[in-house]
């Protein structure tokens, strides 16, 4: 795998790690936020529902006080209650709890002059005026018997003949002379009630009047039906004894252990298994009614599938980011590698022997400085090589001259030897050739003198050649030293470039970390701005609803005032609704102000983070360009250093060759000196021979004279 592929793989892996970390962090934070928001929403739903129960309880209790007063007033106007023992009434009495029954004759209960037993005029009149239910109980030993009522049984008939046993808290309270107010079980359902004991003229409690309203009204049932978590989940209400007051089909049939855990919870979350799924429930206890009211939901639907959507979106972003990073990296590598590829081609030409090749790069940066250094180094190397070649040519010329001189000297030496042999022969024939020997000796002496002069010239040339070779050797050594220094400089440059690459890599990593966190923060702020806008819109709707509710409450109060005493209870309700609307408007205004502040802060933060993100992206791009260029510089500098080392090695080898030539030249010089000395000795010997020849000639002349004589 080459450097480009390694670098690309590194960038892709780094991008993958960074994007995965960013997406994972965002997903984790978002899931936690969604989980927190889901829990808060469930808690708010139950809290709002509990507030609704409290408001209904308060309004109903006040209404019951008004209804009871109205019924008491009607009874007083009709003369009050009394018993008529002489008018027995046969009655079948049924315990409303145990359902036990018995039949007995009881005294008739009178209201004024009218018998109340099975007379429904008063209770129906009260119901028509104030609504709800009303009953007149006749007090019997150990029981309160319904003799007139508009409370219905499950079959739709009036619940006359049913009684409240003495074990009931209602019985105990009214028989002590006090009015009972609160929740009570009436025939077959739970009611908010008011029971007031009524006395006859003697002060004996003979009857009890009742007004009440069902706790689970159709309106409240509708509210419970509609209470859900964005259309999912089930609301339920149960008593502490485990009796379920309200539930939806989705609630199912929890196990006894699960039901106990739900009833034991108080303003807290409970997780349980049902139907192979994990259910999440938030339960609160409303003590005035002993209602355990809660909302259950499939735990996997708490985030409404947003977590899965975010995971898919994050994975898509990661894949797209990797592809974009790969494409951008390929483009940058192609752009950044061009000047270094040009430099590589030039250095390859130089390595091939083309010292006229030059690299060009206009920018004054690290690559430009490297290109200029390489050009200067090649220029210096070319000058040194030219000088070395010139010195070598001179040395070769001098060597050839020395060789020619040696050949001439050898030829002269052979001639001297031949002449000496001839002299020996002439000596043997002294008489015949004495004259020739004398003239030949003179001529030989002249030639020997020329040879000695040539030998002196050869010696001088040899010395000059040796001097030139020494200078060339010094030049070659200087080239080798310069090449070594250049290689060392290239190694140092490579080291510095490597250190620079490490620094740039750290800068790139830091820039990418900053860019990743900046993008993550920008996305979070965008989501915050959008959520704040959504909250603002919701607050606007709530404000409009509160405003309209306030107007409706004022209108209702006006209508209740017009109705007089009959509208007094409704006036109380209207006043409570108006107060609640005013509080809602005030809270909505505060939330709207806070939402606007959040929107403004989010907008400013988004703009700042966008600017920061762009600057970080530019810095990262520049750092990546610098890193790529430094990496390529490192490779080229290392290659150049290797080539310079090769040049240094060649220069050292040439220096060794020059030294060898120098030694050969010195040997030639030595031989020339020895030859010159030998020729000098030969000239001296020839002169001696000439003298001897002269002497011989004189002797021969004397002999001739002697022989002539």
pLDDT digits (tens, 9 = 90+) for 522-553: 676 567 667 666 666 666 667 677 667 766 76
pLDDT tens-digit profile of 394-416?
656 766 765 665 676 567 667 65
Judged against a pLDDT cut of 70, whether residue 506 lies above it is answered with no
Residue with tokens 């009522």: 149
For residue 166, what pLDDT is reported? Answer: 94
What is the average pLDDT across 427-432? 54
- Residues making up the chain, counted from first to last: 709
291-298: strand order across its sheet:
244-246, 234-238, 291-298, 277-286, 268-274
- 133-140 vs 143-149, strand pairing mode: antiparallel
Please tell me which of 232-241, 244-253, 344-353, 435-444 the model is most confident about, judged by mean pLDDT: 232-241
What is the average pLDDT across 74-93? 93
Q: What is the C-alpha separation between 618 and 621, in angstroms, rounded?
A: 5
Judged against a pLDDT cut of 70, whether residue 65 lies above it is answered with yes
Using alpha carbons, select from 465, 469, 470 the residue that is nearest to residue 404: 465
What own/partner pairs with CB < 8 Å and gap ≥ 24 does 281-287 have? 282/39, 282/42, 282/43, 282/45, 282/46, 283/46, 284/46, 284/47, 284/50, 286/50, 286/53, 286/54
Of all residues in the chain, what percent carry a pLDDT higher than 70? 52
What global pTM score does this model have?
A: 0.44
CB-based contact 265:294 (threshold 8 Å) = yes
User: What's the pLDDT band for 245 if we cut at 50, 70, 90?
Assistant: confident
What is the average pLDDT across 589-602? 70
Pick the more confident residue, 216 or 232. Answer: 216
CB-based contact 686:447 (threshold 8 Å) = no
Pick the more confident residue, 351 or 170. Answer: 170
* 366 Cβ contact list (under 8 Å, min separation 6): 497, 500, 629, 630, 633
Q: What's the Cα-to-Cα distance from 223 to each of 213, 227, 231, 508, 583, rounded to whole Å?
A: 17, 6, 13, 59, 22
For residue 449, what pLDDT is reported? Answer: 63
> How far separated are the first and last CA of the chain, in Å rounded?
116
For residue 426, what pLDDT is reported? Answer: 47
Q: What is the C-alpha separation between 490 and 482, in angstroms, rounded?
A: 12
In 10 A of CB 624, how many CB atoms?
Answer: 23
Q: What is the C-alpha separation between 8 and 329, in angstroms, rounded?
A: 7
For residue 68, what pLDDT is reported? Answer: 93
Tell me, what DSSP letter sits at residue 193? E
Identify the structural domains of the chain with CATH numbers, from first to last.
Answer: 78-215 (3.30.450.20), 512-654 (1.10.287.950)
- Where does 87-165 have alpha helices with state H? 121-130
Judged against a pLDDT cut of 80, whether residue 440 lies above it is answered with no
Return the axis-axis angle of helices 568-708 and 366-428, rounded to nearest 10°: 10
pLDDT tens-digit profile of 154-166?
888 999 999 999 9
Give me 464's structure tokens: 């000059």
- Please state the separation of Cα 134 from the chain's center in Å: 69
Of all residues in the chain, what percent carry a pLDDT higher than 90? 23
What is the average pLDDT across 193-205? 95
pLDDT tens-digit profile of 292-316?
999 988 877 776 555 566 667 666 7
CB-based contact 532:599 (threshold 8 Å) = yes
For residue 564, what pLDDT is reported? Answer: 63
User: What's the pLDDT band for 703 if we cut at 50, 70, 90?
Assistant: low
**Residues 219-248: b if buried by 16+ CB within 10 A, e if exposed:** ebeebbeebbbeeebbbbbbeeeeeebbbe
Judged against a pLDDT cut of 90, whether residue 286 lies above it is answered with yes
For residue 310, what pLDDT is reported? Answer: 60
For residue 549, what pLDDT is reported? Answer: 74
Judged against a pLDDT cut of 60, whether residue 424 lies above it is answered with no
User: What's the pLDDT band for 77 if we cut at 50, 70, 90?
Assistant: very high
Pick the more confident residue, 670 or 267. Answer: 267
For residue 229, what pLDDT is reported? Answer: 80
CB-based contact 648:484 (threshold 8 Å) = yes
What is the average pLDDT across 127-139? 93
What is the average pLDDT across 655-677? 64
Q: What is the C-alpha separation between 19 and 268, in angstroms, rounded?
A: 38
User: What's the pLDDT band for 614 if we cut at 50, 70, 90?
Assistant: confident
> Please, is 412 exposed, middle or buried when counting C-beta atoms within 10 Å of its C-beta (0-12, 13-18, 19+)?
buried
- Rounded (10°) CA dihedral 407, 412, 416, 418: 70
In 10 A of CB 466, how many CB atoms?
Answer: 20
Complete DSSP assignment for 272-301:
EEETTEEEEEEEEEETTTTEEEEEEEEGGG
For residue 370, what pLDDT is reported? Answer: 74
Give me 569's structure tokens: 């209870």
Judged against a pLDDT cut of 60, whether residue 518 lies above it is answered with no
Judged against a pLDDT cut of 70, whether residue 379 lies above it is answered with yes
Return the axis-axis angle of helices 366-428 and 430-563, rounded to nearest 10°: 170
For residue 170, what pLDDT is reported? Answer: 94
Average pLDDT, the chain: 75
Give me 298's structure tokens: 């499939």
In 10 A of CB 10, how many CB atoms?
Answer: 12
Using alpha carbons, select from 581, 690, 3 the residue that is nearest to residue 344: 3
């Amino acid at each position: 795998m080459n450097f480009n592929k390694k670098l690309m793989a590194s960038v892709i892996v780094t991008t993958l790690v960074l994007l995965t970390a960013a997406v994972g962090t965002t997903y984790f934070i978002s899931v936690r936020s969604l989980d927190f928001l889901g829990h808060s929403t469930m808690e708010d739903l139950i809290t709002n529902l509990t507030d609704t129960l409290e408001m209904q309880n308060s309004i109903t209790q006040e209404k019951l006080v008004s209804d009871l007063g109205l019924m008491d007033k009607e009874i007083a106007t009709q003369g009050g209650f009394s018993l008529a023992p002489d008018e027995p009434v046969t009655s079948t009495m049924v315990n409303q709890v145990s359902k036990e029954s018995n039949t007995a004759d009881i005294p008739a209960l009178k209201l004024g002059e009218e018998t109340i037993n099975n007379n429904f005029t008063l209770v129906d009149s009260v119901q028509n005026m104030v609504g709800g239910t009303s009953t007149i109980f006749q007090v019997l030993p150990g029981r309160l018997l319904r003799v007139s009522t508009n409370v219905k049984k499950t079959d739709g008939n009036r619940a006359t003949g049913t009684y409240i046993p003495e074990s009931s808290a209602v019985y105990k309270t009214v028989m002590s002379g006090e009015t009972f107010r609160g929740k009570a079980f009436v025939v077959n359902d739970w009611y908010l009630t008011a029971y007031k004991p009524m006395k006859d003229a003697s002060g004996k409690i003979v009857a009890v009047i009742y007004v009440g309203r069902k706790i689970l009204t159709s309106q409240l049932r509708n509210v419970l039906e509609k209470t859900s978590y964005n259309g999912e989940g089930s609301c339920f209400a149960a008593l502490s004894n485990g009796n379920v007051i309200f539930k939806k089909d989705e609630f199912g049939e929890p196990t006894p252990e699960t039901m106990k855990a739900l009833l034991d919870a108080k303003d807290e979350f409970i997780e349980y298994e049902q139907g192979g799924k994990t259910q999440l429930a938030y339960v609160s206890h409303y003590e005035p009614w002993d209602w355990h009211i809660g909302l259950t939901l499939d735990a996997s639907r708490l985030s409404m599938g947003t977590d899965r959507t975010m995971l898919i979106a994050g994975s898509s972003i990661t894949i797209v980011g990797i592809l974009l990073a790969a494409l951008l990296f390929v483009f940058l590598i192609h752009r950044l590698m061009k000047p270094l590829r040009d430099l590589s081609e030039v250095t390859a030409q130089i390595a091939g022997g083309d010292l006229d090749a030059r690299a060009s790069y206009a920018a004054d940066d690290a690559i430009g400085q490297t290109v200029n250094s390489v050009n200067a180094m090649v220029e210096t190397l070319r000058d040194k090589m030219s000088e070395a070649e010139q010195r070598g040519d001179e040395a070769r010329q001098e060597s050839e001259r020395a060789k020619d001189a040696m050949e001439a000297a050898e030829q002269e030496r052979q001639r001297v030897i031949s002449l000496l042999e001839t002299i020996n022969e002439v000596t043997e024939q002294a008489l015949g050739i004495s004259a020739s020997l004398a003239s030949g000796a003179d001529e030989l002496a002249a030639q020997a003198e020329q040879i000695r002069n040539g030998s002196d010239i050869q010696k001088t040339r040899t010395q000059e050649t040796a001097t030139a070779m020494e200078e060339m050797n010094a030049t070659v050594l200087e080239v080798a030293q310069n090449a070594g220094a250049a290689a060392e400089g290239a190694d140092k440059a490579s080291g510095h470039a490597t250190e620079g690459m490490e620094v740039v890599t750290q800068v790139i990593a830091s820039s990418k970390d900053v860019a990743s966190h900046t993008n993550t923060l920008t996305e979070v702020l965008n989501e915050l701005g959008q959520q704040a806008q959504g909250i603002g819109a919701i607050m606007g709707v709530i404000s409009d609803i509160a405003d309209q509710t306030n107007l409706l409450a004022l209108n209702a109060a006006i209508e209740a005032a017009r109705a007089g005493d009959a509208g007094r209870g409704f006036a109380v309700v209207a006043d409570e609704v108006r107060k609640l609307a005013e509080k809602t408007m005030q809270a909505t205004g505060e939330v709207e102000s806070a939402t606007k502040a959040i929107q403004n802060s989010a907008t400013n933060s988004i703009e700042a983070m966008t600017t920061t993100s762009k600057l970080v992206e530019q810095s990262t791009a520049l750092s990546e360009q610098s890193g790529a260029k430094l990496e390529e510089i490192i490779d080229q500098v290392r290659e150049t250093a290797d080539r310079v080392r090769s040049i240094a090695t060649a220069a050292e080898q040439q220096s060794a060759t020059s030294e060898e030539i120098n030694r050969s030249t010195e040997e030639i010089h030595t031989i020339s000196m020895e030859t010159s000395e030998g020729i000098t000795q030969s000239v001296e010997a020839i002169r001696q021979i000439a003298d001897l020849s002269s002497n011989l000639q004189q002797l021969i002349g004397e002999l001739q004279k002697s022989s002539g004589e």
